[in-house]
Amino acid sequence: MAELDLNVIREEIDKVDRQLAAILEARLGLVMQVAEYKKAKGMPVKDKAREAKVVEKVTGFLENKDYVPAVESIMHSIMDAACVLEEAELAKANDRTLQIACFGVPGSFTHQALEDYFTGKDYERQHFNLFEEVITAVSNGAVDYGVIPIENSSTGGITEVYDLLRKYDCSIVGERCIKIEQNLLGYGEATLSTITKVYSHPQGLAQSKEFFRDHPQMEQIPYFSTSKSAETVAEQKDITLAAVAGKKAAELYGLKILAENINYNSNNSTRFAIIAKNPEKVPGANKITIVLAVKHESGSLYKMLGHLYHRGLNMVNIESRPMEGKSWEYFFHVDLTGNLDDPEVKDGIEEVDKNCTYFKVLGNYRADTRKE
């Protein structure tokens, strides 16, 4: 047997170490991709079941089983170090300043919902005049979150938002309900008798229809948003113009309240959706939003709703939207109570999916149950 040469052995070890360094670097690069995925999905860093499978698989590759205890120890050390890197990356992401898209200009009800939901977070607002601008900013990753109105207690769902969420494949990760008190805002010496044109978002005008019935001389002009309407009136400095908007907008743009609480429903509230590019694991999630389509035949929707009923899934809202290019066929946006981690809920959702021509979960999030 040839005599061992320590220097030669060490040279061979150095070669293997170089290979090992490249392999470890490649593995940690993949680990950071996992961290990015977990961050998007709201998943925990540690997964003991997965770690056990990895160790078992790696040791199974060994030809010399005497090395199993040592390799087990090495793999656990590698994965512990990887978890430290993942946690550091997640902490870094959590500490950074969030970029949030807000529908409407400062002073809007959406602005109020954003401030309420993200209280205590470090964020920067970006304001947009169109729903589609907010949703595309989220979809293409330009911002972390978006805040948009999705439903009003007086006038129902905002159909354009439902269509855009489906089109751009965004997820609902939270919601905020804000009590809406609409006011007629004017500039300077304006009075009710000087106003001939009133700007507001179509929802703001619809919520105030009884007021306008009593003031037929006021022409209603649909506009981007209630807050943008207030901004425009302030810029025009014209006593014949007014806006339907909230008190915060009046304060922000220096307008006078000509008539308070002109919305006909005193319990008027708007639900705002917090949207993200990807689904998130939300602690305490108890509400699910799905979008689906069923066969264009008699009883198909009834049968689908039957699956919800027999699985004990409580439906709290349903909105229908026509399919583009298909007469009398519809998408249905449905809000349910439940958590997708609940086996019964998960089974029920899967059963509904099997009986639909189109199905997608838009989000599983925590309902805002506060009383305004």
Question: What CATH number did the domain enclosing 84 receive?
Answer: 1.20.59.10
- Residue 100's pLDDT is 98
Residue type, 352: V
- Residue 94's pLDDT is 66
Q: Where are the alpha helices (DSSP H) in 266-331?
A: 300-310
- Of these residues, 212, 270, 289, 331, which one is catalytic? 270
165 found inside a domain = no
- Count of domains for the chain: 3
- Same domain for 252 and 315, yes or no, is no
Residue 272 annotated among the catalytic residues of the structure = yes
Q: Taking Cα atoms as reference points, which of 108, 161, 148 lies closest to residue 273?
A: 148
- Same domain for 290 and 240, yes or no, is no
- Residue 128's pLDDT is 94
Query: If residue 53 lies in a helix (H) or strand (E), which one and from where to where?
Result: helix 48-60
Residue type, 210: E
Angle between helix 68-95 and helix 48-60 axes, rounded to 10 deg: 140
Residue 270 annotated among the catalytic residues of the structure = yes
- Same domain for 91 and 22, yes or no, is yes
Last residue of a domain, one of 224, 259, 294: 259
Q: Pairing between strand 241-245 and 197-200?
A: parallel
- Of these residues, 118, 272, 331, 332, which one is catalytic? 272
- Residue 51's pLDDT is 87
- Same domain for 286 and 372, yes or no, is yes
244 found inside a domain = yes
The range of the structural domain enclosing residue 190 comes to: 183-259
- Number of neighbouring beta carbons within 10 Å of residue 239: 18
- Residue 91's pLDDT is 66
- Same domain for 246 and 332, yes or no, is no
Q: Round to whole Å and give the CA distance between 247 and 108.
A: 9
**181 with 136: CB under 8 angstroms?**
no
The CA-CA-CA angle for residues 62, 66, 69, to 5°, reads 85
Last residue of a domain, one of 73, 95, 117: 95
Range with the lowest mean pLDDT among 100-104, 305-309, 316-320? 305-309
Across residues 135-151, what is the average pLDDT?
A: 96
Report how far Cα 17 is from the mean position of its chain's Cα atoms. Answer: 46
